[in-house]
Amino acid sequence: MKKIALLILLAAAPTFFAACGAPAANTGVTNANTNTSKPVAAAPTVDALMALDKQANEAHVKGDSKFFEGMLSDKFVILTGGGQRMDKAATVKMIAGVKCDIKSMDLTEPAMSMIDADTYALSYKATWDGTCNGPDGRPVKVPGPVRSASIWVRSGDKWQAVFHGENLIVDLKNPAAPAAPPKKLAAPPKNQRPKKDDHTAANSNTASNTAAAPATATRDVNTGANTDALVKVELALWEAWKEHDAKKLDDLMAKDVSFVNIFGTYLATRADALKDWTGNGCQVKSVSVSDGFVTALSPTVEMLTRKGTADGTCGGQEIGGTAIWGMSIYVKEGDAWKFAFGMNLAAM
């Protein structure tokens, strides 16, 4: 089981390693005496990002880690199912060890949403036919299909990735489908695992609707300055979801919203998210948010990686006590931070 989870990260991940550089807005010959401005990447299209994805897929299955040194932002992060945060250096090193035999790949259902002029979210379905080597060196069939999600930021004349995640797509309407994505498939090394959260321990970035104290100013020195504030906003979002509180959700959400849930379902619009989160699909008694880490993408856009828990059911599936690691993008509107995009990763 551990092998398969790593494949979700190593083998399915090639579907996102793409936008090494979108076409620059300033192309052709430039007269240095009349135009000294630096080239700026043009606003992306979903077709352009998907085309670049294909190039990156080819580099990934070859273990061409050098390709990704320029494609990944220095702020890049990926989360394992066990909650381990992997930065750019760790990800590039991981890719260098990839060995795959891919016969075909099929990238479908592309969707792109604008967070702001310099930040975009890309999501699509990926289906693979082939194998990649697991931790023991033996080839393992790439699981799928998966729903992929990536966050792209403009960096001068190119677009770079700052986040990527993959979830197996689960058909909740089909009784024959798995009850939930595989559990406990892989775990990070013991010295890299987050501390166990008992909902009362004083994790510096923990907020909960239980008797635990709210997030305080005490904070891991490695987290962003706005971590405590966004953890509280995130918790309010989870509590509004628990209560099916449409008004509260509406107040916490940005103008444009999209989301990928743990079952690989993509909610493309704000209306889709409100309908899903206020519906009867989930019946939850309690929630918590902890282990927050904020990365500032710009003065008005921040990325929060965090751990959530919920006690209840979703789609008829028990989710009680399960750690739900994920990422949320917040945009600043006036004095308030509003939720714009998120992805909850299935526990592994």
Q: Phi, psi at residue 24, to the nearest 5°?
A: -75, 145
Give the pLDDT band of residue 188 (cuts 50, 70, 90). Answer: very low
pLDDT score of 24 more than 50: no
Cβ 233 vs Cβ 252: under 8 Å: yes
The pTM for the full model equals: 0.78
Cβ 170 vs Cβ 180: under 8 Å: yes
Provide the residue type at 199 as one letter: H
Q: Chain-wide mean pLDDT for the chain?
A: 78
Give the pLDDT band of residue 196 (cuts 50, 70, 90). Answer: very low
Q: Phi, psi at residue 249, to the nearest 5°?
A: -60, -45
Cβ 312 vs Cβ 241: under 8 Å: no
Give the pLDDT band of residue 192 (cuts 50, 70, 90). Answer: very low
Domains of the chain: 2-24+40-168 (3.10.450.50), 194-345 (3.10.450.50)
Q: How far apart are CA 299 and CA 279, in angstroms?
A: 34
Higher pLDDT, 10 or 154: 154
68-77 pLDDT tens trace: 999 899 999 9
β pairing state of 139-141 and 146-155: unpaired
